[in-house]
Every structure is written in structure tokens, then in C-alpha cells.
A and B are shown apart, each in its own frame.
Chain A
């Protein structure tokens, strides 16, 4: 058993599930999207990225790339949320929520690819 791979798998999967939990619900309804879940998804996603630092295999490089894409989307979502919730006159309205959630949904796609890669790697890594 490779502890490094297990830890990495845990974080990748956790990032994807949290992300999914945040995106789930009506796109423009602020009440159906908890900001704490977005925060948790962002933190876990960052940790997953750092875990892939310095991996020089081809698979590791692709993992890093997809992970960075997810980070980018989530950071954008968090920034938009921070701006809309604090700085815009109307507070968190429907349009703002839609923007935040759609950005997070993009991150979900990247995280889904990460999970697919992880599964593919695990399956191909078939040592008896």
C-alpha cells in the first residue's frame, strides 16, 4: 500500500465531493448554496494541488494541470462571491449566485476529470 497515493486520492475525492455539494441545487437561489462548502472545497483543492508538486511522472503532471484548473475556477468563484456579497449594493442576488455557482460547476468538471484520472491510474496500476 502506498500511503502517498492514498492520501492524495482522499484529497482529490474530497475536493470533488465538496464541490459537488456546493453546486447541487437551483443555480440562482442563494439559499441552496452554502458558502462554507465553497470555502472547504477551495481549501481542500489547494491542498490536493500542493500534494502533486514535484511529481515528475506524466500522470503526475496531468494531475497537477487539472488540479490547477479546479483551483483557478474555485478562486474565481470565491472572489466573485466576496465581491457580490460585500461590495455590490444589492448583496448576494440571483445573478451573483448564478455566476458563483457556474464557476464552481466548472471546477467540478475539472475535479471530475481528476477523479477519472485517479481511477484510471489505480486500475492500470495492477501489481498482483
Chain B
């Protein structure tokens, strides 16, 4: 089956029912014809032949095992002989037809076709922007929940039928269409809405690099206008993905290393970034200070350990690697199993400052963390959590930095797709110094407390800011726009993170920045501030008061009186 059209099920039923139906027609025809030809007698004993209507009527109720008796007159023995034969024939025919239909309804192909048809109908009926999520594992589920809270729709394609069935039980607000299918099949992607006009983005989150690459390619070739977020743990695949358009490739190991480097260099910047990436309602993370200098011990030299070692070395830190099966390498590698106390003793943890448990086994990582802490309680400990089931245990040991690959991917994809402006802001933050970030964190917490409130964007155009159109031509100072509509000496509880004009972004703008028509603002702040600002942007009278301090009357009579008074 290539691309199943919605009518595939109907055609399948018709094709499978051809033989049973023809059998039934032939049996009926023979029975009816025989009944009209076999001589009978009426109640007076005169010869009588059954008409077609009587014969068809009799056959109908006999074949369907209803049985009203011998109509219109009691049968002769010749007729009874014929009827006996047709009874057996018709019962077999009916049983065959109904049996075929039931067998078809239980047929795997048929049920898959029904499911696919149902899914593609649901997708085709979507009339709001939706995201296409290929791969609904832990990452997909995290993202699905986050987008659902935002009121965004999404469609799921996954290899595993069980995960798709779990969608129906998931507590989502909106109905989530899901299809069990291979994301490597471009036909499936099309059925899942890749070419749908309302498709707003594609996420390739399967645990198979090749499948993610295929999804990225298909999206870039069929819909070059869509934003694509793809997950991979291999730099080589990442390069191949980037050959197609401009996908956001998330490599959880590289992202963790990048974050760790930022955390080493600028703790406040790191705090700000993780906070903004966590989405609304998130508690502000504590500002940790990883040791700037000293020796680190990395246990496990797989893809993650290798990437992290490179990152730490790039920061100018000394790294000791423990690995049972090392490749030929010039790093100081201690060969052995890290869970062996003698091997760990050889790493001289007493004089190290940081320890990373980077193996791909959760139990091993937990025991490594415990052993390292025993050896040196002051160590900065980072660990990798591979499976969602281990989360409570890792929370309990309270490591200083925890890598959960699935969550890293989910956070990055969320930041990119929920508010692209925020993504842009986060990209520029590491270039600023730490004091600036610390100042911004202090301003945010002073305004809205320790929980992240709403993050939203405003475009100053006719649609979103009709009240400012006349004034934007001469420019409005940002500080004036943020005055409270109730009392213009107060400020609304919001901070502007970024002003985007055309293609150049002003990060952390001051109050004297001149705003022009078409500018986009990224704000973070209290929901009440969002409502106040919406009033300023939408109501000309409020805008006049906020920007100039004069309350212009809005009704005609008051305007006449005001003009007379002047």
C-alpha cells in the first residue's frame, strides 16, 4: 500500500466482498428461478405457478432464517424438494458472506487501513497551526505536554503502536492525532501532514539517527519554509543534516558541554539561560559555581565523555579519563572499570575538583557518584541519566549538574519553537558578560518573584498596536511605552529582553531606545503587565495618556468641551 486515501477502507471492503456477494446473488437467482418453474397447487387443487414476487419474498425470509411458512399456498412435494435444496444453499451462502465480512474486520491490513484513514481525516481537518513530531519517546512526550499547555496542536508519528495508543490515554487538552508508522517513509510523513498548509514545524526526535536525518531531508525538500528541529548524538549526522536547509540540530551531549562551559565561565548567564528555557512557571534555578581551575575526572569515555572531555580541555582544565576499553588516544586514560574502588583510587580524587559519571548505565553512574563523594565530599559532581525510570534516584543523590539527554533536547526544541525570538535572545546571551546577566536576573526576580511568568512577544504594527500608529513614525522611547496605564509614574511589571528591527537585534535595550513601526519586542513579566501593555497598544486614549500624560476625552461631547476650554 502506497499512500492510502481516506476511501481505501471502502475499496478494500468492496474488493474483498466481491466473491461472497456474487455467490449470494447466484444462489438467490437459482432459488427464485426454480421456485417460479416448479409446479404447485392452490387451495382448490388447481395448478398454480409462483410469481417472481412470491418467489423472491419466500427466498428472502427463508435465506435469512426468518421463515414465515409456505406462502401463498401450502407447497407440493416437488416444491418442498426444491426448497430443501435452496435452504442448504442459501444458509451456506449467507454464512460465507457474513464470515468473510467478519474476517475482513479482524484483518490486520484492514484495521491498519482504517486507522490510517481515520488519522489522515483528522490531520486534514486541522485548521490551526500544528507541529509534526516524528518519534514520541520521552523527549516527544515532554515536548507534547509543554506545547499542549501552550495551546499548540501537534501530530505524532511513531514506530511503536503502543506509544500511539498511549496518546489516547494521555491527559492532553486537545485531540492529538497519532499514527504508527516509519518516519523514514516520506509517504507516512505526508499523511502526517508534512505538506499540510497549516503545518508549522517539524521535530525529528526518534532515537534512530538515520530516521531523523531522513525526516530532516524530507522536510527540507518538500517544505523548505518550515522550521526543523532534529536530534542526533553524532556530529557526522549533524553535518549531514545541516547540508539540507537550516535545521536546528540538537546534540544533547554537545549542548550539555556547551552549557557546562558557560556555567564554568559565567554562572549568572547560565542561570538566566536555564531559567528562560524551562518555560513559564519554572522556579529560578540556584546559581552554582563550578570550580574554575583544577583537575577533573571523567568516568566513561563514550560519545558523551569524549565530547565533555574536549569541552573541559578547551576551557584549559586538566582531565583524567577512566575507561575500561579505551581507543588509542593521547589523553591520560586510566584503563579499568570505574566502579572498581582500586581504579577510582588511582584517579586520585582527593586532589580533583570535579567528577563526571558519564557511562551509559544508570546504576553504574549512581554508584560512581556515591564512591566519588565518599572519596572527596567537596567534589563538583556531574552525572548522566540515561533512562526516565532513574529520575527519582538521581534527584535523591542531588548531583551538581545532571545531564538528561531527552530533557536537553526537549528544552532546546521548546525554546526554538515556542518563541523564536527567545531562541534568538538565548543565542546572544553567552556573548554578554556575567555581571549583565546577574543584573538582569535581579531585575526579573525583583519584578515577578522567583517563578518565571509569561514570556511573550509584541510586534508594533497596525494589527497589534493600532493605537500607536501615528506616534511610531516619530519614534517612541521604550521607557514611555512601559508606563502603567493607571498611573504613568509607575512602570508595568515587565522587562524587555530584546528589540528586533528588521534583522538586527538589540539585546537588553535601555529605556531611551527609540521604537519604530514594525519593531518586535520580546518581553518577560507578569500577566497583568501583558494586559496593561495590550491596553496601551490598542486604545488610543490610554496610549495618549501613557505617552504624553494628557487624558484626551474619547466621546464627541467631551472633546467639544475640551476644545472650548482651551
Contact = CB atoms under 8 A, between A and B. Distances in A.
B31 to A, nearest CB: 11
A50 interface: yes
Interface of B: 11-12, 14-18, 21-22, 25-26, 28-29, 32-33, 36, 51-54, 56
B22 A47 contact: yes
A78 interface: yes
Contact of A82 (B15, B25, B29, B52): B52
A76 interface: no
A1 to B, nearest CB: 20
A53 interface: yes
A82 B53 contact: yes
B26 A47 contact: yes
Interface in A25-41: 35-36, 39
Contacts of A35: 52
Given A50-B21, A51-B18, A86-B53, 10 more contacts: A39-B32, A43-B26, A47-B22, A53-B18, A54-B11, A54-B12, A54-B18, A78-B52, A81-B52, A86-B54
A61 to B, nearest CB: 10
Contact of B51 (A51, A53, A85): A85
A86 B51 contact: yes
Interface in A13-66: 35-36, 39, 43, 46-47, 50-51, 53-54, 56
Nearest to B10: A54
A85 B11 contact: no
B55 to A, nearest CB: 9
A90 to B, nearest CB: 16
A54 to B, nearest CB: 3
Contact of B15 (A39, A47, A53, A86): A53
Nearest to A54: B15
A78 B57 CA distance: 13
Contacts of A47: 22, 25-26
A50 B22 contact: yes
Contact of B25 (A46, A53, A54, A86): A46
Contact of B29 (A43, A53, A81): A43
Contacts of A51: 18, 22
Given A39-B33, A47-B26, A54-B12, A85 B18 contact: no
Listed from nearest, the 3 A-B pairs whose CB atoms lie closest are A54-B15, A82-B53, A53-B14
A86 B52 CA distance: 10
A44 to B, nearest CB: 9
Contacts of A81: 52
Contacts of B36: 36
Which secondary structure dominates where chain A touches chain B?
A: helix
Q: Identify which of A35, A56, A81 gathers the most chain B CB atoms within 10 Å of its CB.
A: A56
Which secondary structure dominates where chain B touches chain A?
A: helix
Nearest to B19: A50
8 contacts: A43-B25, A50-B22, A51-B22, A53-B14, A54-B11, A54-B12, A54-B18, A86-B54
Nearest to A64: B14
B465 to A, nearest CB: 54
Contacts of A50: 18, 21-22, 25
Given A47-B26, A50-B21, A50-B22, A56 B52 contact: no
Contacts of B52: 35, 39, 78, 81-82
Q: Identify which of A39, A51, A78, A81 gathers the most chain B CB atoms within 10 Å of its CB.
A: A39
A82 B54 CA distance: 9
A37 to B, nearest CB: 12
B25 A56 contact: no
A54 B53 CA distance: 31
A99 B259 CA distance: 87
Given A39-B32, A81-B52, A86-B51, A53 B17 contact: yes
A99 B53 CA distance: 17
Nearest to A87: B53
B14 to A, nearest CB: 4
A5 to B, nearest CB: 15
Given A39-B32, A39-B33, A53 B21 contact: yes
A118 B28 CA distance: 27
Contacts of B26: 43, 47
Contacts of B28: 43
Nearest to A85: B51
A34 to B, nearest CB: 11
A80 to B, nearest CB: 11
A106 to B, nearest CB: 20
A82 B53 CA distance: 5
Contacts of B53: 82, 85-86
B116 to A, nearest CB: 16
A81 B53 CA distance: 9
Contacts of B16: 54
Contacts of B54: 86
Contacts of A85: 51, 53
Q: Identify which of A39, A50, A85, A86 gathers the most chain B CB atoms within 10 Å of its CB.
A: A50
B378 to A, nearest CB: 73
Contacts of B29: 39, 43
A56 B22 CA distance: 19
A128 B54 CA distance: 52
Contacts of A39: 29, 32-33, 52
A22 to B, nearest CB: 13
A18 B25 CA distance: 17
B6 to A, nearest CB: 13
A21 B219 CA distance: 61
Nearest to A79: B53
A86 B49 CA distance: 13
Contacts of A46: 25
Contacts of A53: 14-15, 17-18, 21
A40 to B, nearest CB: 8
